[in-house]
Amino acid sequence: MLRVAVIGSGPSGVYTAQSLVEQEIVPDIEVYVLDRLPCPYGLVRYGVAPDHEKIKSLQNNLRTVLEHPRVRFVGNVEAGAPGLGVEELREIFDAVVFCVGAATDRHLGIPGEDLPGSHPATDFVAWYSAHPDAAATRFALTARSAVVIGVGNVAVDVARMLSRAAAELAATDMPQGPLGALADSRVEDVWMVGRRGPSQAKFTTKELRELGSLPGTEVLVRPEELALDPAYRDPAGLPAVARRNVEVLRGWAERPNGGGAPVGRRRRIHLRFFLRPVEMLGDAGGVRAVRFERTAPDGSGGVTGTGRFEEIEGQLVLRSVGYRGTPQPGLPFDEATGTVPHTAGRVLAEGAPLPGVYVAGWIKRGPTGVIGTNRPCAKETAQSLLADAATLAGRATAGDPVAALARAGQRPVLWPGWLAIEAAEAEWGQGLGRGTVKLPDWAGLLAAAQAADTSR
Ligand SMILES: Cc1cc2nc3c(=O)[nH]c(=O)nc-3n(C[C@H](O)[C@H](O)[C@H](O)COP(=O)(O)OP(=O)(O)OC[C@H]3O[C@@H](n4cnc5c(N)ncnc54)[C@H](O)[C@@H]3O)c2cc1C
């Protein structure tokens, strides 16, 4: 018998569990998928935007794995909490795979970054996704102009959410608070700003194109700014995604009113490039603008400052300049990459594998790629673990894992508890005349979970 703990029930954790049970090398295996939240699915539940229903529905695929007879979901258990370090986990499980993600924001490191009204995009995403850690967060959306710093898919997500009308989101599982705030939103202009050129933007074409189809929203680009990018003028040598992005932007630039005054539209999204944020301007009352330095291509794929500056008005600033992993107690950590050092998923401590300890997903390879990228990543880790199985099996001494986790001070929410949360969210939504609506705080989630018979 090989008893494995997978820490984290996001895509990488669930794909790791799947790879571990869908194999014949080690048939006698049990996988416990632990999460600090009482709810599974990681960023698929708490990151993917609510209006992306198709991607959200991946939760159904992940659910099938968590319902596998050899897999057990154990929510509300935090690895690294007092009494549940790597050593203690190794007493309960023969092997431990950390799939804890990398959802902390990176900092810009510029003056004024922490003025009221300037937030990491992670906070905004957590708020509209009803992450229970963000239960106290409020975005009043009284700003007339919002600046989104960054040109990746998360920046596109937050720009789109700021531009959607509440009626378009009522059918999603978005909680009531953010839906009400969007209904009352005074935002008219959303500026999405990148420090490099359009051919270097990280967004994918489908997400970019979607901005152009938002009802009531005009997308504005500046042809002369796009043309500063040599690859914009001649995109033939670009990778496919960048080339398609450039084509979409070119289409917007060539529209008769591209760059001109919007007609009959409620909101405008301005896509700006070659602008590097240098300071947030404002006072204790809040941010009022972002000061940017105009950049120019440096001829070797980067950009260089030009000494010319521009201010963009914004009473709300969302910084979306990348994610980063956080150190896990008891695990080595590479500060430069924000990941745990490993070889093929085996955690390395001072260059040697730490027996029985593995990583997969964003904490292994950094916050890049789409959900599907986690599948081969998880498979590689599972294969390493299975190859080590003979040296690991039967090492854990603590007996029944769920009882041992409870003895370690945790209050596990098992699968029936999660099903009870789902039922409560469906019921709550129905009462509001909507579909399923997420419960936005810890108390509500745990109360709903307790309604289930968690002894099964
Ligand atoms: C805002 C946002 C939107 C995105 N939208 C899309 C999209 O539309 N399409 C797409 O393909 N990809 C999207 N992605 C990328 C995708 O979400 C990631 O590729 C994927 O979630 C990474 O999987 P993961 O399992 O490594 O991490 P996560 O999904 O972050 O899962 C980590 C899990 O570990 C748990 N955890 C953390 N610490 C502990 C601990 N100490 N103890 C126990 N549990 C712990 C967390 O609660 C979480 O459930 C998006 C990412 C973000 C940030």
**For range 318-331, the mean pLDDT:** 94
Task: For residues 267 and 340, state if they share a domain.
Answer: no
Ligand 1 atom with the smallest distance to the CA of 122 is 1
How do strand 286-297 and strand 275-283 relate by DSSP bridges? antiparallel
Atom of ligand 1 at shortest distance to CA of 40? Answer: 49
Q: Which two tokens stand for residue 375?
A: 């599948």
Q: Is the CB of 320 under 6 A from ligand 1?
A: no
pLDDT tens, 368-395?
989 999 999 999 999 999 999 999 998 8
**E-only strand ranges, 112-265:** 118-120, 145-149, 189-193, 217-220
Q: What region does 88 belong to: left with phi over 0, alpha with psi -120 to 50, or beta? A: alpha
Q: Please tell me the predicted confidence (pLDDT) of residue 364.
A: 98
CB of 103 shorter than 6 A to ligand 1: yes
The finding on whether 367 has its CB within 6 A of some atom of ligand 1 is no
Three-class DSSP category at 434: coil
- Closest residue by Cα to atom 37, ligand 1, is 100
CATH number of the domain that residue 8 is part of: 3.40.50.720
How many folded domains does the chain comprise? 2
**Whole domain around residue 284: which residue ranges?**
106-321
Q: Do residue 240 and residue 305 come from a single domain?
A: yes
Per-residue pLDDT at 259 exceeds 60: no
Asked if residue 337 and residue 301 are part of one domain, the reply reads no
Pocket flag, ligand 1, residue 8 (CB < 6 Å): yes
Which atom of ligand 1 is closest in space to residue 129's alpha carbon? 1
Nearest CA to ligand 1 atom 6: 48
Q: Looking at the predicted structure, is the pLDDT value of residue 306 above 70?
A: yes
**Is 341 in contact with 354 (CB distance < 8 Å)?**
no
Among 210, 371, 375, 380, name the best residue to mutate to test ligand 1's pocket (greatest count of ligand atoms within 8 A of Cβ).
Answer: 371
Query: What band does 256 get if pLDDT is binned at 50, 70 and 90?
Result: low
CB 276 within 8 A of CB 263: no
Q: Atom 18 of ligand 1 has which residue's CA nearest to it?
A: 371
pLDDT of residue 263: 55
Give the pLDDT confidence of 67-80 residue by residue, as tens digits.
999 999 999 999 99
Please tell me if the CB atom of residue 89 comes closer than 6 angstroms to any atom of ligand 1.
Answer: no
Q: Are residues 24 and 135 in the same domain?
A: no
Same domain for 98 and 117? no
Instruction: Tell me if 216 sits within 8 A of 265, measured CB to CB.
Output: yes
Q: How far is the CA of 189 from the centre of ligand 1 (A)?
A: 30
Is 14 close to ligand 1, i.e. is its CB under 6 Å away? no
Q: Is residue 418 part of a domain?
A: no
Residues 6+ apart with CB under 8 A from 411: 76
Average pLDDT in the chain: 94
Q: How far apart are the first and last CA of the chain?
A: 21
Kindly state if the Cβ of 12 falls inside 6 Å of ligand 1.
yes
Distances from the Cα of 31 to the Cα of 53, 70, 99, angstroms:
29, 6, 13
3-state secondary structure of 147: strand
Of 321, 345, 377, the domain-final residue: 321
Task: List, for residues 407-451, the tens digit of each pLDDT value.
Answer: 999 999 999 999 999 999 999 999 999 999 999 999 999 999 998
What single string gives the DSSP state of each residue in 374-411? HHHHHHHHHHHHHHTHHHHTT---S-SHHHHHHHTT--
CA 94/CA 156 separation, integer angstroms: 42
The rounded distance, in Å, linking the Cα atoms of 18 and 25 is 14
* pLDDT of res. 109: 96
143-184, pLDDT tens digit by residue? 999 999 999 999 999 999 999 999 999 999 999 999 999 999
Does some domain include residue 9? Answer: yes
User: Mutual orientation of helices 11-21 and 58-66 as an angle, nearest 10°?
Assistant: 40
Q: Is the pLDDT of residue 35 over 60?
A: yes
Does residue 129 surpass a pLDDT of 50? yes
In a domain, 427, yes or no: no
Chain segment 348-359, per-residue pLDDT in tens: 999 999 999 999
Residues 230 and 266 both lie in one domain: yes
Burial-class residue 456 by CB neighbours within 10 Å (0-12, 13-18, 19+).
exposed
Domain membership flag for residue 448: no
Tokens in use for 28?
A: 């006698």
The residue whose CA has the least distance to atom 27 of ligand 1 is: 101
Are 93 and 118 members of one domain? no
Ligand 1 atom with the shortest distance to the CA of 362: 26
Does residue 371 line the site of ligand 1, with CB under 6 A? yes
In the prediction, which pLDDT does 65 show? Answer: 98
The tokens of 371 are what?
């959900």
Helix (H, G, I), strand (E, B) or coil at 53: helix
> Average pLDDT, stretch 287-304?
95
Is ligand 1 within 6 A of the CB of residue 10? yes
Note the pLDDT of residue 260.
Answer: 46
Measured in Å, residue 283 CA sits from the centre of ligand 1 at 35
Provide the pLDDT confidence category of residue 92 given band limits of 50, 70 and 90.
Answer: very high
* Same domain for 302 and 178: yes
Residue 433 forms part of a structural domain: no
Based on the fold, state whether residues 347 and 316 are members of the same structural domain: no
Last residue of a domain, one of 298, 321, 344: 321
202: confidence class by pLDDT, cuts 50, 70, 90: very high
- The answer as to whether 420 is a domain residue is no
Is residue 257 over pLDDT 60?
A: no
- The ligand 1 atom at the shortest distance from the C-alpha of residue 81 is 41
196 and 243 together in one domain: yes
Does residue 93 fall inside a structural domain?
yes
User: The CATH number of the domain where 258 resides is what?
Assistant: 3.50.50.60
d(CA 7, CA 94): 13
110 plus 241 within the same structural domain: yes
Place of tokens 């997400």: 207
Query: Could you tell me if 162 and 190 are in contact, meaning their C-beta atoms sit under 8 angstroms apart?
Result: yes
The answer to whether position 194 is within a domain reads yes
Contact (Cβ atoms closer than 8 angstroms) between residue 371 and residue 44: yes
Cα(125)–Cα(319) distance, integer angstroms: 11
Confidence bin at 242 (pLDDT 50/70/90): very high
- Same domain assignment for residues 377 and 277: no
Question: Largest Cα–Cα distance in the chain?
Answer: 72
Domain boundary among 301, 321, 341: 321
